[in-house]
Amino acid sequence: MKQYKVGLVGIGAVGTEMVKVLRQRKFPASEIRILATRERDEEIAGETFHVLETKAEAFDGLDVVLFAGTEGSKGASKMWGWEAVKRGAVVIDNGDDFRMDDRVPLVIPEINPEALDKHQGFIANPNCSTIITLMGIAPLHRANPLKHMTAVTFQSVSGTGRAAIDELDAQVRAYAASGNTPANAGLANVQKSAYPHQIAFNVLPQIGSAKKEMPGFTTEEAKMTFESRKILGVPDLQIGCTCVRVPVFFAHSVAIHAQFTNPFTPEQVREIIKTSAGVKLIDDLSTSQYPLPLDIQHGDAVGIGRIRIDSSRENGMALWCCGDNIRKGAAQNAVQIAEEMIKRGLI
């Protein structure tokens, strides 16, 4: 099998997971060259990597470069992405800077791999919540075209990055040591840097900043709308979305209410999910079986459950999706894109 020289820009939560996924999936890499803001050594899963400072010449000789920017992190792919392409590499970018660029395919390999065929050297990873949502809804859309979708997300703190994981952990520990009661769970002088409010024992109905072009909506909610339309190839699809940060370390959950062109039964939906790639059916309300973040975290598949008719709309269906945002929502999807490009002879 041909071996490929892989570059990786960024070594935070997503970058670290990308290295693990490359190794776990036995990606044919003769080299993994890690680039960051400064030169140093990093140990990942028992393996030591010498990290190089990101410079233009550091991309020379690489076949594929993964940009591992945490959601909302700006700059790396804008500064270096097209330079890496110019030097002969295929870029797969986890950041959001180029997702809606007409030159750049936005790809979930289980859903729209054919979009890779027209790539210009630069491919974008969708937003983590978009990936998890569409893994559940796209197989149904293929069988019965989607007309409208409402999604409410319940997003873990790891989507913000390592600092947010540490912040939730610190707040929970501070509460345990404070003598507070459940009736008084607010913490005085609580550490707040990743979020404007205490996240422990709380939910924050804001992810991202205000979207100027969509008054009242956030940038995260706009991503769900515009990215879903691009991936599904339905530019006028009606989508309503509210994105919420919850005190969970890993895995995003999404409650979806969808309207389809024709009627669906829950049994038909379950059969489609059972035969779709990258998802697993966990759906038995009588025995309290449904996807949970604690069960789904660190796994490869997106769990689908709570499937039922939504009688509030014609041809309505409701379902619940849950997936690890750092793996399938970021690192794993990027590596799968590279695998699909190899399969198609595009690298």
pLDDT tens, 12-58?
889 999 999 999 999 999 999 999 999 999 998 889 999 999 999 99
pLDDT of residue 74: 58
- C-alpha 34/C-alpha 11 separation (Å) is 8
Residue 70 has pLDDT above 60, yes or no: no
Q: Is 241 a catalytic residue?
A: no
- The mean pLDDT value of the chain amounts to 95
Is 50 noted as a catalytic residue in this protein? no
Candidates 311, 322, 221, 302; CA nearest to 259 is 311
Cβ contact 6:33 at 8 Å: yes
pLDDT beyond 70 at 183: yes
Identical fold, 4-125+330-343 and 130-324? no
Give 318's strand partners: 257, 308
For residue 194, what pLDDT band results from cuts at 50, 70 and 90?
very high
The domain segmentation of the chain, as residue ranges, is 4-125+330-343, 130-324
Between these two residues, 291 and 188, which has the higher pLDDT value? Answer: 291
Residue 312 has pLDDT above 90, yes or no: yes
Closest by CA position to 231, among listed 104, 336, 71: 104
In this predicted model, what pLDDT tens digit does every residue of 95-109 receive, in sequence order? 999 999 999 999 999
More confident residue, 167 or 190: 167
Q: What is the pLDDT of residue 291?
A: 98
What confidence category does residue 189 fall into, taking pLDDT thresholds of 50, 70 and 90?
Answer: confident
Q: Measure the N-to-C terminal CA separation of the chain; round to a whole number of Å.
A: 13
**Range 130-324 classified under CATH 3.40.630.40:** no
* CB within 8 Å of 4: residues ≥ 6 apart: 27, 28, 29, 30, 63, 64, 338, 342, 347
Residue pLDDT, tens place only, 203-248: 999 999 999 889 999 999 999 999 999 999 999 999 999 999 999 9
- Residue-wise pLDDT for 132-164, tens only, equals 999 999 999 999 999 999 999 999 999 998 899
Decide: 21 and 48 in contact? Cβ < 8 Å: no
Residue type, 278: G
Would you state the CATH architecture of domain 4-125+330-343? 3-Layer(aba) Sandwich (3.40)
CA distance 38 to 200: 33
pLDDT at residue number 45: 83
Across residues 309-324, what is the average pLDDT?
Answer: 98
Among residues 119, 243, 252, 322, which one is catalytic?
252
Q: What is the mean pLDDT of residues 124-133?
A: 97
Q: Hey, which bits of 86-145 come out as E strands?
A: 90-93, 122-124
Per residue in 331-342, pLDDT (tens digit) is 999 999 999 999
Give SS3 for 147. Answer: strand
H or E element that contains 253 = strand 252-260
CB 18 within 8 A of CB 67: no
Helix (H, G, I), strand (E, B) or coil at 108: coil
**Per-residue confidence (pLDDT) for residue 188, from 0 to 100:** 82
Helices (H), 278-330: 293-296
- DSSP class of residue 102? T
Active-site option among 128, 241, 321, 322: 128
Strand partners, 320: 255, 305
Instruction: Flag whether pLDDT at 176 surpasses 60.
Output: yes
Cα 50 to the center of its chain, rounded Å: 27
Residue 106: how many other CB atoms lie within 10 Å? 22
Give the whole-angstrom CA distance, residue 59 versus residue 267. Answer: 50
Of the pLDDT bands very low, low, confident and very high (cuts 50, 70, 90), residue 71 is very low
The one-letter amino acid code at 196 reads P
Structure tokens at 19: 């290295």
pLDDT attached to residue 192? 87
